[in-house]
Each structure stands twice: as structure tokens, then as C-alpha cells.
């Protein structure tokens, strides 16, 4: 096969016209660089999104008292969400695996001996463990009996336990939350960062009845956590819950809701933030660069065919077939775009690393953008190289040698 020999000729030719070769490459370089950055940023964002969604729970719906946005706990004094609402949701909507109403208080003072912290205290029903997939790693969970007796027991997040008791075993010890003494009956599994951005592990959990009656002194709740059986049904179940709460709270849209509903999809949307727009802009840049670069490439190649008519004639006289000439010019085009791809990938990689340094984005570099870039480079090279190559191959040797 003489393909390799022809490829060598391409290399010589491109090497002899470095400036022209670079100009032909420019579009591909920019396009591929942009593509590499998009993919890296996109990957990084998806990773972040998945982490947030997993932290929230892929099967989860959260009903929060008060309008508001985000998954933050309700503001103080919002009394609209009640246990009866949770009861109604459980009874009237199908497809729910488990439901857990709970009440949250931010910044509760907690003391153990001389150690004191301010943290989030959650008063939860026994189902809460299942609804959050969050169980004690040590000791016992919140039980029906705790609920019935309004027992003064609590479970500590690992961080809370460490802050209050250090390395000491906390189970069986006492902490003072507000003015009430609680016995530590369990330590919760380590869970990490919450969708709100704070640390789950600094939280403290108590029975719901105890919380409402003995500690918070209230008859309303702040959240209802719902875990569905089939994640595909999340949005329809969320809609049903919304409708039911409208009915129960006598709200007719467009009147404002006194509750908010979030699902994994909403969490993903919030976590993606502006990265979608960024991806779109960079995508447009990449596409445009490749297109314009391809057109420039094609035109310079066409000019080059014109300039090299004598060379083409000579090669034909020396025995090159039309196919050989076609192959030479097409390979020049492909060589240009693949070289551009290599430079563009390096360039994009450098930008990505720089971006990771100066922004909060955490781009992830994988092999996929390089494979995709190679695909694009070949595509552009072939697409925009065919026309000049065909023109070169069509030249009659006698005409070319005139």
C-alpha cells in the first residue's frame, strides 16, 4: 500500500508551509479547545449534581412549610404545615413507600459537661430513618415507644458527638438541649454535606412528639419527607401532593403557596445553576469555530490546489492515479485537523486546569473529550477536505502541465 508514502508527502508539504498550515489549523484548535473545556466542566458539574442529588435522595420529595426557595428549613413562625397534612398525604396518595414528618430548629444551644455547641435539632417520627436512609451506626433509632412516651432521648451526628464528647463514648450520657436534658441513645451514621451545604453530621435528632411538646412547644411541623417507590413517578406524586395541600390549605393558584415541594429534579436544577448556560455558550463557540475553521481550511486548501497545479501534473506524469492525488489532499486536510485537535486538546486541558484554579467549578478530565475531539477532527477534515481533493484529482495531467 502506498498510503503511508503519500502520507509522508502530506507531512512534507504541510511542514514546508508552516504559517499556512497553522492558519488552516486555527479553527480546529479553538473549536476542540472549547469542546474539551465544555466536556470537563460538564463532567465536573454532573458529578457535583449527582453528589447533591444522592445527598438529597434520588427517591425523595421534601415538603417544606412556607413558600421560600431552596431546601432551607422554614423561617420561624410559619405554622401552616401540620401533622394532619402528613396524615392526609399518607392516606390519599399512592406510590409512597414511606413518609416522615419532622420539625427543625436551627441554632439550638446544646451542652454536655463543659462542651457547648449551637446546632440544628430535628424532631422526627420513627419513619424518618427509613425516609432518609439514615440509621444509627451505634445505639438505637427513634421508636414508636419514644413517640408514645415523649421520651427525652436523642441521637447525635458523628460530628456533634465529637464536639460534645470528644473521643469518649456518648451513648448513655446526657446532653442539655435548651433547658431539657436528653439521654443519648444512638450515634447516626456519617452522612457528609447536606444539599443545603451544611454538615449533616453536626445535627441532633430527637423524637417528634418530644420535640413538639417538650422542647419547641409547638403544634406545627416544618417538613414532610416522602420517599416514593418508583423514582419515575416523582414528579407526578409531587404534583398530587401539591394539589392535596392546595385543597387542605384553601389555596387557589395564582395565590401564593404556603409550602414548597422539592424533588431530586429540583435539586439537580439548582445544583447545575449557570453551568447549563456556560455549556451552551461554549458549545456554540466550539461548533462555530469548527464550522468557520472548516470553511477556512477548505478555502486555503482550494487555493493550495490552485498553486500546486504543476505539482499535481508532475505527480500524475510520474504515475500517481487520481485516487493517489485525492488521497494526498484529503490526508493533508485530515492531518491538519487532527494536528489541530491535538493542539486544541492540550490548549483546552490547560484552560480547564486554569479554570479549576480560579473558579469554584471542579472540572473533570476524562478520555471522552479526546475521543470526541478526534471524531470531530476527522469529520471536519474529511467534510471540508473532500471538495479540494476532488478538484485536485479531477485535473487532467496535460492541462496541469501546461
Partner 1 sequence: MNMIELENIDKTYVTASVETRVLKRISFSVQKGEFLSIMGTSGTGKSTLMHILGCLDKPTDGHYRLDGTDMVSLNDDALSHLRNNKIGFVFQQFYLLDRATVLRNVMLPLIYTKEYPEDAKEQAEKLLAAVGLTERATYRPNQLSGGQQQRVAIARALINNPALVLADEPTGNLDSKSGADVLAVFQKLNREGRTIILVTHDRNVAEHANRIILLKDGMVAEDRVISSPLDADAESRAEAEKEMSK
| Contacting residues toward partner 1, per CB under 8 A | 2, 5-6, 9, 12-13, 15-16, 310-311, 313-324, 397-398, 401
Minimum distance from CB of 277 to partner 1 (Å)? 47
The residue among 16 and 232 lying less far from partner 1, judged by its C-beta, is 16
CA quadruple 67, 68, 71, 75: dihedral sign: negative
Minimum distance from CB of 38 to partner 1 (Å)? 38
CB of 325 within 8 A of CB of 315? yes
DSSP state of 109: E
The residue among 242 and 322 lying less far from partner 1, judged by its C-beta, is 322
Query: What b/e sequence results for 79-112 when a residue is b if at least 16 CB atoms lie within 10 Å of its CB, and e otherwise?
Result: ebbbbebbebbbeebeebebbbbbbbbeebebeb
The Cβ-side half-sphere exposure at 174, using a 13 Å CA radius, reads 8
CA quadruple 15, 17, 18, 21: dihedral sign: negative
Name the residue among 327, 76, 329 with its Cα closest to residue 222: 76
185 three-class SS: strand
The residue among 6 and 290 lying less far from partner 1, judged by its C-beta, is 6
First to last CA, the chain: 30
The residue among 125 and 400 lying less far from partner 1, judged by its C-beta, is 400
Minimum distance from CB of 322 to partner 1 (Å)? 6
Minimum distance from CB of 19 to partner 1 (Å)? 14
The residue among 295 and 398 lying less far from partner 1, judged by its C-beta, is 398
Minimum distance from CB of 47 to partner 1 (Å)? 49
CB of 34 within 8 A of CB of 285? yes
The residue among 320 and 342 lying less far from partner 1, judged by its C-beta, is 320
CA distances from 28 to 36, 193, 375 (A): 12, 41, 12
Minimum distance from CB of 397 to partner 1 (Å)? 5
- Sort strands 153-156 and 180-188 into parallel, antiparallel or unpaired: parallel
CB of 372 within 8 A of CB of 35? yes
The residue among 152 and 316 lying less far from partner 1, judged by its C-beta, is 316
Minimum distance from CB of 402 to partner 1 (Å)? 9
Minimum distance from CB of 278 to partner 1 (Å)? 44
The Cα 19–Cα 263 span in angstroms is 55
Please spell the DSSP secondary structure of 7-20, one letter per residue. HHHHHHHHHHTHHH
Taking the CB of residue 205, how many other CB atoms lie within 10 A of it? 28
Minimum distance from CB of 336 to partner 1 (Å)? 16
CB of 123 within 8 A of CB of 102? yes
The residue among 105 and 316 lying less far from partner 1, judged by its C-beta, is 316
DSSP state of 232: G
The residue among 148 and 303 lying less far from partner 1, judged by its C-beta, is 303
Q: Left if phi > 0, otherwise alpha if psi is -120 to 50, otherwise beta: which for 55?
A: alpha
Amino acid at each position: 500500500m502506498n498510503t503511508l508514502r503519500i502520507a509522508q508527502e502530506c507531512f512534507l508539504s504541510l511542514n514546508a508551509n508552516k504559517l499556512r498550515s497553522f492558519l488552516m489549523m486555527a479553527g480546529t484548535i479553538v473549536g476542540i479547545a472549547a469542546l474539551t473545556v465544555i466536556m470537563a466542566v460538564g463532567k465536573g458539574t454532573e458529578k457535583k449534581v449527582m453528589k447533591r442529588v444522592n445527598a438529597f435522595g434520588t427517591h425523595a420529595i421534601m415538603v417544606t412549610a412556607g413558600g421560600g426557595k431552596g431546601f432551607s428549613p422554614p423561617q420561624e413562625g410559619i405554622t401552616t404545615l401540620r401533622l394532619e397534612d402528613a396524615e392526609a398525604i399518607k392516606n390519599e396518595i399512592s406510590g409512597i413507600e414511606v413518609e416522615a414528618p419532622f420539625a427543625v430548629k436551627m441554632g439550638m444551644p446544646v451542652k454536655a459537661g463543659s462542651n457547648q455547641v449551637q446546632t440544628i435539632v430535628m424532631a422526627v417520627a420513627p419513619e424518618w430513618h427509613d425516609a432518609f436512609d439514615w440509621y444509627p451506626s451505634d445505639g438505637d433509632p427513634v421508636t414508636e415507644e419514644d413517640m408514645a412516651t415523649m421520651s427525652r432521648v436523642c441521637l447525635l451526628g458523628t460530628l456533634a458527638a465529637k464536639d460534645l464528647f470528644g473521643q469518649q463514648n456518648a451513648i448513655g450520657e446526657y446532653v442539655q438541649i435548651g433547658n431539657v436534658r436528653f439521654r443519648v441513645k444512638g450515634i447516626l451514621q456519617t452522612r457528609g454535606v447536606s444539599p443545603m451545604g451544611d454538615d449533616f453530621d453536626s445535627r441532633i435528632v430527637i423524637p417528634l412528639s418530644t420535640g413538639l411538646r417538650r422542647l419547641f412547644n409547638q403544634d406545627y411541623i416544618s417538613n414532610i419527607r416522602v420517599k416514593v417507590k418508583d423514582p419515575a413517578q416523582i414528579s407526578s406524586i409531587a404534583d398530587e401532593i401539591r394539589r392535596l395541600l392546595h385543597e387542605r390549605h384553601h389555596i387557589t393558584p395564582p395565590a401564593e403557596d404556603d409550602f414548597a415541594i422539592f424533588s431530586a429534579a429540583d435539586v439537580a436544577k439548582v445544583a447545575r445553576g449557570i453551568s447549563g448556560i456556560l455549556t451552551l455558550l461554549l458549545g456554540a463557540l466550539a461548533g462555530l469555530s469548527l464550522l468557520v475553521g472548516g470553511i477556512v481550511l477548505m478555502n486555503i486548501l482550494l487555493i493550495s490546489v490552485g498553486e500546486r497545479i504543476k505539482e499535481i501534473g508532475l505527480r500524475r506524469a510520474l504515475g500517481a492515479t487520481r485516487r493517489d492525488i485525492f488521497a494526498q489532499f484529503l490526508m493533508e486536510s485530515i492531518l491538519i485537523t487532527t494536528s489541530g485537535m491535538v493542539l486544541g486538546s492540550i490548549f483546552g486541558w490547560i484552560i480547564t486546569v486554569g479554570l479549576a484554579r480560579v473558579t469554584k467549578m471542579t472540572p473533570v478530565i476524562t478520555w471522552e473529550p479526546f475521543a470526541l475531539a478526534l471524531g470531530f477532527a476527522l469529520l471536519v477534515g474529511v467534510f471540508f477536505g473532500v471538495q479540494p481533493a476532488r478538484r485536485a484529482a479531477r485535473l487532467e495531467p496535460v492541462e496541469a502541465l501546461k
